[in-house]
Structure 1
Amino acid sequence: MRLTDFWTRLEETFGAGYASSLASDQVLPQLGGRTIREALDAGMETVVVWRAVVAAYPDRVPARLR
């Protein structure tokens, strides 16, 4: 998954304003206790980060974006 696709999916799921906040502030255990931005900055693959988002918010992520 390209990084631009990742951000498009995150914004589509949570809205542009909240997606940015979520990426910077929410620590996800599935990412080793990192935020989304920290995981991406550390070089974690976008598909792995996206799967962590889906696992953390299964009711928010539309089925077509999983």
Structure 2
Amino acid sequence: MRLSEFRQAIKDEFGDGYGRVLTRDLVLPSLGHTAEQAIAAGVPARDVWLALCAETDVPESRRYGAGLPRPPK
């Protein structure tokens, strides 16, 4: 997953405003960082996306950024 795909997945799943809040403020216990901190520390975007999905209960069917096709709009 590229960083641009990560950002698009955040926007698609959570919206612009809430997505920014989540990535900036929500500490992901499995990573020990917020999403922004984890990305800056070099954690692969796919791993951050999956950790964020797990922490926020995103159903697996909507975790398309992790190798699943993007859902139709």
If the TM-score is normalised by the length of the shorter chain, which range does it land in? 0.7 to 0.9
- Give the equivalent residue in structure 2 for 1:39: 38
CA RMSD of aligned residues (A): 1.5
| TM-score, length-scaled by structure 1 | 0.85
The share of aligned pairs that are identical, in percent, is 38
In structure 2, what is the Cα distance between the partners aligned to 1:36 and 1:2?
A: 14
Question: Can you list the C-alpha shifts for 1:23-51, whole angstroms capped at 9, x where unaligned?
Answer: 111101011x2000000000000111111
Q: Which has the larger radius of gyration?
A: 2
Shift of 1:65: 2.9
- Give the equivalent residue in structure 1 for 2:2: 2
In structure 1, what is the Cα distance between the partners aligned to 2:27 and 2:48?
A: 12
Where has structure 1 moved over 2 Å in runs of 4 or more?
Answer: none
- Give the equivalent residue in structure 2 for 1:48: 47
- Give the equivalent residue in structure 1 for 2:68: none
| TM-score, length-scaled by structure 2 | 0.78
Quick one: which of 61, 64, 67 aligns to 1:63? 61
